[in-house]
Amino acid sequence: MIRFRRTHDLQELIRNHWPAHDILIMAAAVCDFMPASEMPGKGPRRSGPVSLDLIPTPDLLQEAASTSRSDQTLIGFALEASSELEQKAREKLKRKGVHAIVANPLDTMDSDTIDGLLLLPDGPSHAPGGPLPKEAFAAWLIDRILELHAER
């Protein structure tokens, strides 16, 4: 296990380790935004509102996709509301340039089960056949990803 604290730290880890591997599963974004400037130490308590300027973080999934070799397989995740899950996940799949994306319903955040889909760029989707406990879904997903990688 390699621990990190900031998006930049994970970005460096991916840059250093991804070239030596065959499969990368990016299950979650670290964060979409970060403070525009760092505050050294603990800020003083103030009365009244405090403003925080945010800037976008680097898109680690898209960066990894742009540096992938043809023999590597990169999988992303899309956490979306069930009502627009597949549509938004397909848009992300195309925009990010990954080999597949897991369409993950937002309501799985507080659930013991998941009813996700594995979407491929050429149109097909794979589903486990109904909601599964998260550990079972993970095992099902790993099997599908290994099959996908073997086919590439």
Question: Is the Cα torsion angle 102, 148, 128, 90 positive or negative in sign?
Answer: positive
For 8-43, give the DSSP string.
HHHHHHHHHHGGG-SEEEE-S-S-SEEESS---SPP
pLDDT value at 48 more than 90: no
pLDDT for the residue numbered 96: 93
The encoded tokens of residue 50 equal: 């405090």
Residue % of the chain over a pLDDT of 70: 100
pLDDT average, residue stretch 127-150: 94
Count of CB atoms situated within 10 Å of the CB of 60? 19
Rounded to an integer, what distance in angstroms lies between the CA atom of residue 20 and that of residue 94? 25
pLDDT average, residue stretch 40-57: 86
Condensed to tens digits (0 to 9), the pLDDT of residues 62-120 reads 999 999 999 999 999 999 999 999 999 999 999 999 999 999 999 888 899 999 999 99
The domains found in the chain, sorted by start residue, are 7-33+55-151 (3.40.50.10300)
